[in-house]
Amino acid sequence: MNLLIGSTTPCSGKSAIALGLGLRLRAAGRQVVYAKPLGTIAVEAAGQWRDADCVLMNEYLGASVPPPVPLVFLDRASVRRRLSGEDTVDYRERLPDFAPEEPGLVRLIEGAGTPQEGAVFELTLQVLAEQLPARVLLVCRYEEDLVIDQLLILRSQLGNRLAGVILNDVPVDQQEDVGSVLVPFLERQRIGVFGVLPADTTLKSVSVGELVGTLGAEVLCCRERLDQMVESVHIGAMSGSAALKYFRNAVNKAVITGGDRTDIQLAALETSTTCLVLTGYLAPSQMVLARAEELQVPVLTVGHDTLATTEIVDRLFGQARFRESAKVDRIQQLLDRHFDFERFEKVLGL
């Protein structure tokens, strides 16, 4: 069976939900493999260019069947070849061979960031669903009532191929309204809702190690703590006394500040700080390093200025990936509590 997992907007949580569902299906004794016809990050594996997400996800799933190589990567070079006429491949014709039906195998196929993405290669969500062929599970990041129009349009486009939706990242203060108003409305429109998942800071977090790699940072202390998770980022550009009050309002944070701002660095260390990111390649004082060592808080130093560093980190949070066991455990917990597996399996005939 082919299950195509699509989303209404980028960064909706498709990969997380695909992994959680895959682990649940595998625990039930089913053979599962994860695939992406439209690759995003290319890595070389077994002598071929594969998608980084595919490699990682199938390691988690213990897939015994190798995933197919993406038909095309959504990068600038591939798009330019298509626009120039150098690439004239009809990728639609390749879809049936990309994911042929195999008895007993559940193939989780992740689509692009939006239903329209991939149109330049004639590989939109609708085309994928029709040509693979596949049933579709939509992951919809909740954005108040703005999601309704998108879902109604997609229901019209996908027809009976739409198996159902998951409403993801729903703020705590809006869950009751979503459950009592939005979900019943969607059900009346023949859009089945398998689950309403609450917003979760763990799933949006990144590890200190990811910050190091993305920023090209030097680790000054506590290298053994790079697996710790950062849930938010705060900039230290105020006085030391104001910083202490500001930092107390956030937990598990990274603080970005100049390497010469000893007052802010010490204030951050007195609160729930996961790591310090010091800009301008300015070394901190020995007092700061000693206190960070005592509290086991990694201190990173980077060559960028504070603004550039913050922009890079913000982009990283926008594309947080699943490399840490804490995230894998968390998505399984959320699905166990908020996802109707019985209905899901019945609709898909599993």
Q: What is the pLDDT of residues 89-131, one digit of tens each?
A: 999 999 999 999 888 899 999 999 999 999 999 999 999 999 9
In whole angstroms, what is the distance from residue 264 CA to residue 259 CA?
10
The total of other beta-carbon atoms located within 10 Å of residue 141's CB is 20
Going by pLDDT thresholds of 50, 70 and 90, the confidence category of residue 320 is low
Task: Judge whether residue 303 has pLDDT over 70.
Answer: yes
User: Residue 73 has what pLDDT?
Assistant: 94
Q: What is the pLDDT of residues 226-253, one digit of tens each?
A: 999 999 999 987 776 788 888 998 899 9
Ordered structural domains, the chain, with CATH: 2-203+321-348 (3.40.50.300), 206-318 (3.40.1390.20)
Residue 277: what are its φ and ψ, rounded to 5°? -120, 110
Note whether 135 and 111 are within 8 A (CB): no
In whole angstroms, what is the distance from residue 277 CA to residue 298 CA?
9
Cα(first)–Cα(last) distance of the chain, in Å? 9
Task: Judge whether residue 286 has pLDDT over 80.
Answer: yes
Q: What is the pLDDT of residues 26-75, one digit of tens each?
A: 999 999 999 999 999 888 776 778 888 888 899 999 988 777 899 999 99
Q: What is the pLDDT of residues 21-31, one digit of tens each?
A: 999 999 999 99
Secondary structure in 3-state letters for the chain: CEEEEEECCCCCCHHHHHHHHHHHHHHCCCEEEEECCEECCEEEECCEEEEHHHHHHHHHHCCCCCCCCCCEECCHHHHHHHHHCCCCCCHHHHHHHHCCCCCCEEEEEECCCCCCCCHHHCCCHHHHHHHCCCEEEEEEECECEHHHHHHHHHHHHHHHHEEEEEEEEECHHHHHHHHHHHHHHHHHCCCCEEEEEECCHHHHCEEHHHHHHHHCCEEEECHHHCCCEECEEEEECCCHHHHHHHHCCCCCEEEEEECCCHHHHHHHHCCCEEEEEEECCCCCCHHHHHHHHHHCCCEEECCCCHHHHHHHHHHHHHCCCCCCHHHHHHHHHHHHHHECHHHHHHHHCC
